[in-house]
Amino acid sequence: MTRSILSIIIPASLLLGSCVGYHTRKGNEYYEYIAYSEAIPHFEKVYRKTSDPLVELKLADSYFRTSQVDSARSIYSNAVKRPGTSVRTYFDYGKTLMATGKHRDAAGYFKKYLNKYPNDILARMLYTSCNSVIERYRDTTLYELKPILEDKFVNTFSIIEYQNGAVFAADKEVFSGRKESPWTGNSYLDLYQMRQDAEGNWMTPELLQGDINGRFHEGPATFSKDGKTVYFTRSNYLKRKMEVNEERENNLKIFKATLIDGKWRNLQEFPYNSDDYSNGHPALSEDGKTMYFVSDMPGGFGGTDIYKTELQNGAWTKPENLGPQINTTGNEMFPYYHHDGSLYFSSDAHNSMGGLDVFITYYNGERWVKPENLNYPINSSKDDFGFSMNSNDVTGFVSSSRTNSDKMYSFDKKPPTFNLIGSAREKGTDIPVEGVIVEITNIETGKVISMTSGKDGFFKMKLEPNSDYHLYCTKFGCFTRTDNLTTKGLKYSEDFFADFEVEPIVINKPIVLENIYYDFDKWDIRPDAAKELDKLVRILKDNPEIDIEMGSHTDARGSDQYNRVLSDKRARAAVMYLIAQGIESKRLTYQGYGESQHVNECANGVECSEEAHQANRRTEFKVTKINK
């Protein structure tokens, strides 16, 4: 009996080892052939039964590459705790944490990786992105997104305006036979066209007719302005057989087709296609003479780069890499060139929120300017890509995996909003002032917006984008204040704040000008004093009905006669400065008071600190007359 039991137990043990070995081998084969969706079930069987660290990392990577980021995060969270884990695991875990919105945690793991590899540019970019992710939410009102075909397809993306509708890439319908992509496990892709009805609802999509759609992947696509020529991405295959290179990789190629009697015919390969690298994601300029596309051809910066080629004498020129301002050691993909000269593209580097983010740049005549993140809600912590603007410049499309599968969204582009928010209060207090008249004049249009502060002293006005404004605040019997502000060149919504201190005009009441200093035994107006006097210039221009006297005072050190003469020269110098700034001389008088009007106890013979003496060395003005 014992022998018979052992004879059963031993083969079972051998069978378990054989099973683990088989699934490890099959998982590795699929993984090496980048068939991640097929590798996952084999690795899962091994992972549940063993603690093989290599299988663990390959399983996590396979989850990540098939957009199962929550599963990837769970596996990586265990992997980074293993003694002697690879430093590379910190980087991979950081990317996974970014994709799940945990940017603070991701920054910590990028920092650990950078401690070992401080010159890794991509890691440094992502580390910086994690620490500045709050900036991606600086204005969430600029785009309003709405999902398209939310329940009709599993995966849809790269939608672009075409004629009276749009063309997009989506999963094939499942026919008999195998149609799944071994990378993702989803169906291969076809190109579809759909139109909108009179109410703007999307009608049932239809396959593009003709020779475009085949057995494997097709899409994304770009069209000539007349709609009769298309360039599109396609898997490298001949008839019904997928072509692979020596590394058993199937690369992407760009093809051209022509619309003939409603069907796409005459397929032609882009002359710079190759069996050894991929070309894809073409984007035409409006005149059709420049094409931007993505490639991992040799000589790039790493991952996939964006290239451009020009149509000259009927032939495309040798592709030109857009350079390090655009391309990184990460992946730059899905270019789109708008007719205003803007180039949009997606990247998982630069200052990405996580995964692919949409960026905008343009060529300034000498170089491409630094790409700018379009921020949330266009971008998220998942992949955001396939951005395009419609011909009306205010609507467009973007694709995103933010719901854990690729979906298309339409968007409305909103102008930034601007407001002037202010309060009127008594000078030097928090007491609100009612009845302050606030006027804003649009300098370009001449339109005037006016309101009066209420009992709380509060006022708020809406401003227009790309406008210069003149602000005027006044209350009878008080000093008027003016200012200028602009919304020109501002891309993000912003509130401007105006704190209006209300000060009554009192005849012969001295008002000290702070920080008016002179060099010892001098009366020249120093640059720092000029800045303060410029504030008085503004007051005089805002209140043209008042005449003033400039008064200068000294401390008690020195003789009375010396101080009187010196202060008189200083007061006169201040008046001459005001005249030079355009103030009429008939509105100005001056008086040097020497040491005759102290503001503290520092008289002759009294020992005082330098600060106390400084309080007496002051320049004042007082209103002497109010003209009708």
Q: What is the CATH number of the domain that holds 402?
A: 2.115.10
Helix 53-65 × helix 36-49 angle, to 10°: 140
Q: What's the order of all strands across the beta sheet hosting 218-223?
A: 218-223, 229-235, 252-260, 263-269
Q: What percent of the chain has pLDDT over 70?
A: 91
Single out the residue in 502, 523, 543 at which a domain terminates.
502
CATH number at residue 594: 3.30.1330.60
Least confident among 72-86, 140-154, 222-236:
140-154
pLDDT score of 520 more than 90: no
On whether both 342 and 485 belong to a single domain, the answer is no
pLDDT score of 4 more than 80: no
On whether both 107 and 14 belong to a single domain, the answer is yes
Domain count, the chain: 4
On whether both 470 and 434 belong to a single domain, the answer is yes
Q: Is residue 149 part of a domain?
A: no
Confidence of residue 11 (pLDDT cuts 50, 70, 90): very low
Average pLDDT, the chain: 88
Supply the DSSP symbol for 529.
H
On whether both 541 and 574 belong to a single domain, the answer is yes
On whether both 166 and 308 belong to a single domain, the answer is yes
Q: What domain range includes position 425?
A: 418-502
On whether both 128 and 18 belong to a single domain, the answer is yes
pLDDT, mean of residues 223-235: 95
Highest mean pLDDT of the ranges 106-115, 450-459, 511-520: 106-115
pLDDT digit string (tens) for 246-274? 444 448 999 999 999 999 999 999 999 99
Predicted pLDDT at 244: 41
Instruction: Say how far apart CA 18 and CA 13 lie, in whole Å.
Output: 9
Predicted pLDDT at 510: 87
The tokens describing 307, both together, are 């290239």
Q: Is residue 386 part of a domain?
A: yes
Single out the residue in 413, 444, 468 at which a domain terminates.
413
Phi, psi of 363 (to 5 degrees): -95, 125
Predicted pLDDT at 241: 39
Q: Is residue 145 part of a domain?
A: no
Beta bridge partners of residue 422, listed in sequence order? 459, 498
69 Rama sector, left if φ>0, alpha if ψ -120 to 50, beta otherwise: alpha
Predicted pLDDT at 490: 94
Predicted pLDDT at 616: 84
pLDDT, mean of residues 536-540: 89
Instruction: Say how far apart CA 215 and CA 232 lie, in whole Å.
Output: 15
Instruction: Say how far apart CA 590 and CA 570 lie, in whole Å.
Output: 9
CATH number at residue 78: 1.25.40.10
Q: Is residue 223 part of a domain?
A: yes
pLDDT digit string (tens) for 206-225? 999 999 988 778 889 999 99
Predicted pLDDT at 198: 87
Phi, psi of 103 (to 5 degrees): -70, -35
Q: Is residue 179 part of a domain?
A: yes
Q: Is residue 93 part of a domain?
A: yes
Q: Is residue 148 part of a domain?
A: no
Confidence of residue 420 (pLDDT cuts 50, 70, 90): very high
On whether both 242 and 330 belong to a single domain, the answer is yes
On whether both 369 and 468 belong to a single domain, the answer is no
pLDDT score of 567 more than 50: yes
CATH number at residue 435: 2.60.40.10
Confidence of residue 13 (pLDDT cuts 50, 70, 90): very low
Predicted pLDDT at 173: 60
- Contact predicate 442/468, CB 8 Å: yes
Confidence of residue 5 (pLDDT cuts 50, 70, 90): very low
- Contact predicate 379/357, CB 8 Å: yes
On whether both 556 and 532 belong to a single domain, the answer is yes
Predicted pLDDT at 174: 38
More confident residue, 519 or 177: 519
On whether both 407 and 425 belong to a single domain, the answer is no
Single out the residue in 461, 483, 502 at which a domain terminates.
502
Q: Is residue 146 part of a domain?
A: no
On whether both 381 and 482 belong to a single domain, the answer is no
pLDDT digit string (tens) for 365-412? 999 999 999 999 999 999 999 999 999 999 999 999 998 788 999 999
pLDDT, mean of residues 528-543: 87
Predicted pLDDT at 184: 53
Instruction: Say how far apart CA 333 and CA 384 lie, in whole Å.
Output: 11
Q: Cβ contacts of residue 345 below 8 Å, gap of 6+?
A: 306, 326, 332, 333, 334, 335, 336, 358, 359, 361, 371
Instruction: Say how far apart CA 219 and CA 95 lie, in whole Å.
Output: 27
- How many angstroms from the chain centroid is the CA of residue 182? 35
Predicted pLDDT at 180: 57
More confident residue, 493 or 1: 493
Confidence of residue 186 (pLDDT cuts 50, 70, 90): low
Neighbour-count burial for 6-23, b at 16+ CB within 10 Å, e otherwise: eeeeeeeeeeeeeebeeb
On whether both 457 and 550 belong to a single domain, the answer is no
More confident residue, 436 or 532: 436
pLDDT, mean of residues 276-304: 96
Predicted pLDDT at 301: 95
